[in-house]
Amino acid sequence: MDVEPEIRVVVVTFRSGEIIGPFLDSLAKATTRAYEVVVVDNSPKLDAGTRAAGERPEARLLRPGRNLGYGSAVNRGAAGAAAPWLVISNADISFNPGALDELIAAAQRWPGGGAFGPGITNPDGALYPSARDLPSLGRGIGHALFGWCWPTNPWTASYRRERGAPREMTAGWLSGSCQLLRREAFEAVGGFDESYFMFMEDVDLGRRIGAASWQSVYVPTAVVEHLGGHSTKRSSRRMVVAHHRSMFRYLSRQYPGPARAPLRLLLGVGLGARLLLALAFAKDSAGARATRPAELLTARGTTPGG
């Protein structure tokens, strides 16, 4: 008799044929538990690598027929899951051996935890700050305005929680590039808010998980490597716009009502100016220049949503 999976892994792909195979290979070493994989392919055309991934015995391929965005694709892949644990991941993640088992061990130590984030390293081995505080208006504006030109400013340092050695701790939100979720918690908050096409959907999920009295827990002893922005490199200018649109949506929703309309207007003007600056540096799809300021302005660091 087949063993019922304890984990459902939902991986979102977009022209990811070159990397989805290595992702699945690393996943096989990340846990000793039974798992299933749902590959949600947002690409307009199915490539050979993604097709081959969907034919592997542990995997199932879903093709929505259009680009749903990240959160919507995850919701589609998580629908109907019976496993108690969900893993959501980018395809350009490589799991260290035992990483998922380490996350589940942490989840057992934190029965009130709804989301668990691993330590995420860049290809150069540097640890990325993937567990952060929820952005307040002050932190959000300070980080948005000064993070690209003054990386050590106090607003960015507070938001990214970079002070001190990495340790297991609660956080406001965790990077959506790789997370373990208690399915009960994910379903209780309704999954990702699908009004976010890309970027900030993980911030919003962390906020709603906390509002529902669950914890988001950072587990740096479980390590994954993020190869970095595979699906966004081809269209960085579009990603710049999507990032700023999502930032405005998230922050403006924290300040609703007619009395706060001037604040939302000011926020829109400030983000609009930041967008123009980011576009001036961003690489377009034809391969125009890209500089470090553009990377800092537009990227989720090395993770989606940061």
Looking at domain 7-226, its CATH superfamily turns out to be: Spore Coat Polysaccharide Biosynthesis Protein SpsA; Chain A (3.90.550.10)
**Residue from 3, 120, 140 nearest 58 by CA:** 3
Give the separation between CA 30 and CA 131, rounded to whole angstroms: 21
Q: Are 114 and 214 in contact (CB under 8 A)?
A: yes
CA dihedral 189→195→197→200, nearest 10 degrees, is: -60
Q: What is the pLDDT of residue 245?
A: 78
Q: What is the pLDDT of residue 300?
A: 34
Q: What is the pLDDT of residue 285?
A: 41
Listed by start position, the domains of the chain span 7-226, 233-298
Give the separation between CA 68 and CA 252, rounded to whole angstroms: 23
Question: Tens-of-pLDDT digits for all 306 residues of the chain?
Answer: 378 999 999 999 999 999 999 999 999 999 999 999 999 999 999 999 999 999 999 999 999 989 999 999 999 999 999 999 999 999 999 999 999 999 999 999 999 999 999 999 999 999 988 898 887 766 666 666 666 566 776 666 665 655 567 889 999 999 999 999 999 999 999 999 998 888 889 999 999 999 999 999 999 999 999 987 544 455 577 777 777 777 777 777 777 788 777 777 777 777 777 777 777 776 544 343 333 333 323 233 333 333
If DSSP codes are grouped into helix, strand and coil, which group holds residue 229?
Answer: coil
